[in-house]
Amino acid sequence: MTGNCHVRFLEGWETATSPRLLDYASCERVFRPALVGKPIVVLSNNDGCIIARSNEAKALGIRMGEPFYKAKALIQAQQVQVFSANFTLYGDLSARVMNSLAEFTPELEIYSVDEAFLNLTGFDRANLNAYGRQIKRSVEQWTGIPLSVGIAETKTLAKLANHLAKKSKKANGVLDLTHSKYRKDALQQVKVADVWGVGRQYAEKLNSKGIHSAFDLQQADDAWLMHTFPVPLMRTVQELRGVACLSIEQAPLPKSLVCSRSFAQPEENLDRLKESVAAYTAHAAERLRKAGMACHRLLVFVQTNRFRQSAPQYANSTSIALITASQDTSELIQAAHQALRHIYKEGYAYQKAGVMLLDLVPFNAVQGNLFDPLDRAKRSVLMSAMDQINQDFGMGAIRYAAEGLRPRWRMKQEHRSPRYTTCWSELAQVNT
DNA sequence: TCTGGGGTCCTAGGACCC
DNA sequence: TCTGGGGTCCTAGGACCC
């Protein structure tokens, strides 16, 4: 028997079309225990809109995805605590939770910043529920982050169990559905749109054929499904039936890597776009080196604000192939600037730009090139030195002049909490 | 007035070759 | 030169996920 355990903390969010919330509120509370029980909201990059609310803030009627300025009066009147998204802090707390979870399984898959799968194959089936409670209790005690646990034979069922564990008072954060007589009942309770692998498009199509619950989907006709939907949905259905199609995977190598941002203000000027693209490239390259990878292709994209339909619209992208796979920041910045010059058109108010590093390969497996103009061994030493300095003194302590000195395009983050766990100077701001 | 950022997989279709 | 059939590779786009 395979036992899959799905753990979720912080809660998840979804795309703009069906916003759920990201409960980063619990991260903020770890260092400000006085905030427990108080209303909290977390803002998106640029402090534009609300991407997370604590239960107390929800109760006040603050909506998910609501523009900050619209909720401002209510927020002030009710003394709601406001935070800019602090992804550095959330990422670090996430790593601590993952390390704690690793104590409970020989095989841990870090699925996202706030989710993990634990392989419990071979564990005592009768005691899985108790084991789930032990995980929840221990990790919460060690990290201060609340979590919920779902257990079942397949990953899809484990996710579904977790979904119910959070909602059900009786489950109290832990639900084991392995060989459970409540299985049918559980599947009937979950809307098909809430099944992992069923998005909005599929849900609409399924609903129109009378398939509304996870149970309906589990019972659906195979021939019809195969004919109507792409292959991955059939895997989902099999998983709902208890047939494992997805294995627990440990740290699969990334295939691509993206860094992109919306600007605080629209940007028309090529030089400033070049600065932002250089900075995104530098950031992406740093992550690339950290992953031990190099890229064969680099893509740059720019776009105007698609919500402002009255303004002229333009979006484009292009990629540059690199003869030798690279992780060298200056080489990548050069390529990025070359790509940007190709797609830049004057007279548009750009709202967003981004850099994608594609066709990644492990750095130690990079094919050399006889006519390579770069001394890569030397460059590599330079990159390591830069990364070390930035790690010790904070992100951006040392950077390329091409990134600009006082970047106007930097994000607005007026309400960011300190990076308590990753920056000594900010730790001093701890306030209880 | 505001509307994030970072990923994967599958499929269709065009280019090119034999 | 014309023809059909079939293969591979690449790209773009759309679905999904967090």
Q: Is the CB of A159 under 7 A from strand C?
A: yes
Residue A166's pLDDT is what? 85
For A145-157, the pLDDT digits (tens) are 888 999 999 999 9
Q: Is the CB of A259 under 7 A from strand B?
A: yes
Q: Is the CB of A23 under 7 A from strand C?
A: no
* A261, closest nucleotide (Cα–C1'): B5
Q: Is the CB of A112 under 7 A from strand C?
A: yes
Lowest mean pLDDT among A321-335, A343-357, A414-428: A414-428
pLDDT, mean over chain A:
86
Band of pLDDT at residue A22, cut at 50, 70 and 90: very low
**Range A153-165 average pLDDT:** 93
**Range A382-395 average pLDDT:** 90
**Range A227-252 average pLDDT:** 92
For A52-98, the pLDDT digits (tens) are 788 788 788 887 777 788 888 888 888 888 888 887 788 888 889 99
Residue A12's pLDDT is what? 31
Secondary structure (H, E, C), chain A: CCCEEEEEECCCCCCCCCCCCCCCHHHHHHHCHHHCCCCEEEECHHHCEEEEECHHHHHCCCCCCCEHHHHHHHHHHCCCEEEECCHHHHHHHHHHHHHHHHHHCCCEEEEECCEEEEECCCCCHHHHHHHHHHHHHHHHHHHCCCEEEEEECCHHHHHHHHHHHHHCCCCCCEEECCCCCCHHHHHHHCEHHHCCCCCHHHHHHHHHCCCCEHHHHHCCCHHHHHHHCCHHHHHHHHHHCCCCCCCCCCCCCCCCEEEEEEEEEEECCHHHHHHHHHHHHHHHHHHHHHCCEEEEEEEEEEEECCCCCCCCCCEEEEEEEEEEEECCHHHHHHHHHHHHHHHCCCCCCEEEEEEEEEEEEEHHHCCCCCCCCCCHHHHHHHHHHHHHHHHHHCCCCCCCHHHCCCCCCCCCCCCECCCCCCCHHHHCCCCC
What proportion of chain A, given as a percentage, has pLDDT over 70?
Answer: 92
* Strand C: positions under 7 A of a protein C-beta atom: 11, 14-18
